[in-house]
Chain A
Amino acid sequence: MSAPKVAFFDLACCEGCQLQVANLGEELLDLLGHIEVVEFRELMSEKWDGEYDLAIIEGSVTNVEAEEKVKEIRSRSKMVMAYGACAVNGGINGIKNKTPMEENGRIVYGDRFKDYPSMPTKAVGDVIDVDYIVPGCPIYPPEFLKVLKSALAGLEYVIPDHAVCVECRFNENECMYEKGINCMGPITRAGCNSWCLNNGNRCYGCRGLLSNPNIHGARDVMKKYDLDPDVILKSIDMYNAAAGGKDE
């Protein structure tokens, strides 16, 4: 059996998720022993014109070219994986959906904004069918490998739908709220092994909201600790504006 042909693509993003893949180190070498990478801009210049067994897409769709590109990738791929917050739910690029497109254009390109047509940010899954997702800004490399293995084995991978707090507790961190610091952990999906909390930071919600977060409850918790929920919940918008946070 020949090694599965895998291609990496990027749309509007910072390429930070590719960097996480490139930085896998020994695991990357192991990985390269089991797949054939046919396109990966960060690592190689070659292109491929055949069928991809797996296309891995980073970044969000923010213009017509990108929309056409992902459709073309889909038509040539057996499986598609969207990875990183930008691809999975719009990520930071979603912030622009909060202001009219024309205003965004003027802010960035000044009077010549019409030369650079843009549209509201969409996640890859809003444009094409996606078989696998790896949320996070950036992706958590061990989770990326888990999802990749599931894809190669043809198995379903379900992203956890429980709170980051679960992993934070496994890691026996002292809760941020106990220190009077706000944290998005209770309303954010786990899967990153509470990466930020383990390193002394709070959770910013980069992996996206739970499918049924208790936002009223989270507000009450913030108020209890004298924190301003309106300001804090805006940080959810930082990664999730395109997805539109819903209450309950």
Chain B
Amino acid sequence: MKDVLLKKELFNGFVEALMNSYKVAAPTRRGDKSFAFNFITDPAEVCLDHIPTILPPKKYFLPQHETLLEYNTTEGQNMQAFVEIEPMVILGVHSCDIAGIQCLNHVFMDRPKDYHYQARHDKILLIGYECLRKCDQYASCGLMQTHTPTGGYDIFMTDMGDHYYFSINTFDGKSLVQLFDGFELADTAAEKTLKKLRSDKKKLFRNETDVSLAEIPSIFEWGFDSHVWDRTAEKCLSCGNCTNVCPTCYCFDVNDEPELNLAKGRRVRVWDSCQNETFAIIAGGENFRPKRAQRTRHRFFRKFKYPVMRYGKFFCTGCGRCSRQCMASINLKETISNLKRSWGEI
């Protein structure tokens, strides 16, 4: 599919064209230092240049509270699956967040498939936006190699001065571009500029740690009993921020919520977190991760070891949200680094 260019002054017109056909979510300003994806009503709300939003776009694929089915027990066990999603576009998604969605796709579209996730996934179109500099000291997209996209989007936009370069990856992406007639075909010069820009990025997005991606598996091979977990967890308040904001965390709980007549109601899935003390309580009251250190360790293993075994993939996108949001200053990069250094000190 041929890539296209869009003059910057036409961008808002394109967004309006999208809004005429789709619900459009984009990063918007939330506070002095923070951003959040929201449905927009005006192109002026879009903040393409943002640091990772408080919650990643996973909230559209796996909402915080999601009705799975409605039940009615007046006529036996009548249950009706419930899916409510309109076609939508998420605009301005950074490559690390696209990588996060790719992780979730592995989990929910692997067999047995999660049909609610699938239904949402099929209705959501993604327009990415290229990072040309690292967002802040918390990011580790250099270590995780997620600063440049590797698929998983319909369109990916790159800022080229007075133009945006639109890399078109799918037929859906092409149909989005066709909604607006201000595009020009990307010429060879523009393609060259993109290539150059991407190779220059390698210098800007260097590994932020003294750990290499290649040695992470071995660190997590022996790191289970490291004292790092106890030391790190002393500070941890088990507030769950690090997991709720993580683009690759997907644990949930399922509750039935009856109406007042008690006969009808709905089944709701709600995000849960391994950092919550009650998370690992099973029938009989046994808790198999009662200690904070066990829970802290579990979070890291759930990023750097278990998914590698299951999906052959690290489940960290380097977005830095966990470290940015942790009021106790538990920092992902430092923790991995400390873990590496703790070898032999156990």
Interface, chain A (partner B; CB < 8 A):
30-31, 33-34, 145-146, 149, 152-153, 160-163, 165-166, 169-170, 172-175, 177-179, 185-187, 210-214, 216-218, 220-221, 224
Contact = CB atoms under 8 A, between A and B. Distances in A.
14 contacts: A145-B260, A149-B260, A161-B276, A163-B237, A163-B238, A169-B244, A174-B30, A185-B239, A186-B237, A212-B277, A214-B236, A217-B236, A224-B327, A224-B329
Contact of A174 (B33, B234, B327): B33
B327 A175 contact: yes
Contacts of A145: 260
Given A149-B262, A217-B235, A166 B240 contact: yes
Given A166-B239, A166-B273, A216-B234, 6 more contacts: A161-B278, A163-B238, A172-B54, A174-B34, A218-B237, A220-B235
B240 A163 contact: yes
Q: Which 8 A-B pairs have the closest CB atoms?
A: A174-B31, A165-B239, A162-B276, A186-B237, A169-B244, A170-B64, A186-B239, A166-B240
B30 A172 contact: yes
Interface string B32-75: 11101000000000000000001100000000110000000000
Nearest to A164: B239
A166 B239 CA distance: 6
Contacts of B292: 214
Interface in B77-131: none
Contacts of B31: 174, 178-179
B271 interface: yes
Decide if the interface of chain A is mainly helix, strand, loop or mixed: helix
Contacts of B177: none
Nearest to B259: A149
Interface residues of B, number: 36
B260 A153 contact: no
A31 B262 CA distance: 11
A221 B36 contact: no
Contacts of A187: 237
B261 interface: yes
Given A169-B54, A172-B54, A220-B235, A153 B273 contact: no
Contact of A177 (B271, B276, B327): B327
B257 interface: yes
Contacts of A169: 54-55, 240-241, 244-245, 325
Nearest to A146: B257
B200 to A, nearest CB: 33
B213 interface: no
Contacts of A149: 258-260, 262
Given A146-B257, A162-B277, A174 B237 contact: no
A173 B241 CA distance: 11
A165 B326 CA distance: 11
Contacts of B262: 149, 152-153
B241 A162 contact: no
A215 to B, nearest CB: 9
Nearest to A167: B64
B328 interface: yes
A214 B34 contact: no
B237 A221 contact: yes
Interface string B155-182: 0000000000000000000000000000
Interface in B1-50: 30-34, 36
B83 to A, nearest CB: 20
Given A174-B34, A212-B277, A221-B327, A34 B237 contact: no
A165 B239 CA distance: 6
Interface in B173-231: none
Contact of A175 (B238, B260, B325): B325
Contact of B277 (A161, A165, A218, A221): A161
